Amino acid sequence: MSACDDLLHPHPHVALLPSAGMGHLTPFLRLATQLVHHHCNVTLITTHPIVSLSESKLITHFLAAFPQVNQVKFNLLPLDHTTANSTDPFFLHFETIRRSAHLLSPLLASLSPPLHALVCDVTLISSVIPVTESLHLPNYILFTSSAKMLSFFSYFHIHASKAGDDYPAMLGDVEIPGLPSIPRSSIPPLLLIPNNLFANIFKVDSPKVTKSNGVLINTFEGLEALSLELLNGGKVVEGMPPVIAVGPLMPCDFEKGELGNNQLKWLNEQPVGSVVYVSFGSRTVISRDQIREIGHGLIRSGCRFLWVVKDKKVDKEDEEGLEEVVGRELMESLKAKGLVVKNWVDQGEILGHKAVGGFVSHCGWNSVIEAAWHGVPILAWPQHGDQKINAEVVESSRLGMWVTSWGWGEKDMVKGDEFGERIREMMGSELLRGQATHIKEEARKALGDGGSCEMTFKRLVAEWKMKSGCVSGSK
């Protein structure tokens, strides 16, 4: 029997390889859900060990919801941390996967039915593509940020080369053909630090995007039409593979926990559109001093609020309580108008609640897409990484507002008075509400019957079915 017999295996078999962190894992699992819905055989490659408890729980919930998905465990080689030049647990995990990537070859070749494609995380490009090339296996990248950030990422090696030996000191504003200039102040800060792990991965992977068969990205025309047009028109970099907008990839049932009884009861008691939701994502660590300024700002805003507090990068079972983090006296004052939580929350359910009328966000891309889906205006407060470039998308699309003078949240202190004033401005803006509603309609149209998202997946599946589904070593 031929291993490439498509009559025996009529549905494409696609393997997914995420890296580390909820911001990377979540869109992979949402993509997997769409692929199952479009009748693909899906294999999820999970790396071991894993970084956080949240990731482990989410994978468990996903596999319970989709027993037809095949899980393959990829055991990683130990990493000598002294050679990696980083203390960040997530970046170290990126590097661990990269250094173990050569072990993927027999794993991928042994899968049955034979694979039609591998979708890997953007942080793994240069390590995984040689493996897929040796197996004659199509390789796709899932880019876990905005199309504007993809433009920056794919163009970065060209921009960095202009600085020459003076990189990164002489790295200036980024002039990507066809797009508004990206100021140096919006460049992810780690790219401006010589020889750190994240910057080294970024610089090595940037020119390798053109070696892939396509880039899947969680966005849609109604939010990022210009960036998508320029990327696919070859204006950003020559030889760019197809950039395939598969968004919006929305929260799925397997992600839902029970919204805490207190949270749901409290939200149900608030007037429509009166609550500002404050959350800075799964990886952002806020200093104790800044946490207390945020608390004072929420009080001074006069608005109702639901605030998720996080002061540790990796979630543990033995974390301090809210009163220790926020302060006992401030916690008492906050109870008059709001609800403060430190536990995991169902962000999709919160943003979809009728009481929520605004979102203070770090502008992690999953959060931006969820706000767009629910039509909730954003007050952008980027903390690190790609988030200023994503905030530019929020501002230019008028999905929300961005106070550029605040700088990077992890470095610059924002005082409570100004924070409260900007919350009032966002919550009182009819213009922002109207545009957020329009973007919500565009998102629903993209994901609806006959929408761009459905048509994109149908084309992808048809393309994969045209391929042999045969990799070297699988016969």
Active site residues: 24, 121
In whole angstroms, how large is the CA radius of gyration of the chain? 22
Spatial separation of the C-alpha atoms in residues 306 and 276, rounded to whole Å: 6
The alpha carbon torsion through 376, 60, 246, 139 (nearest 10 deg) reads 150
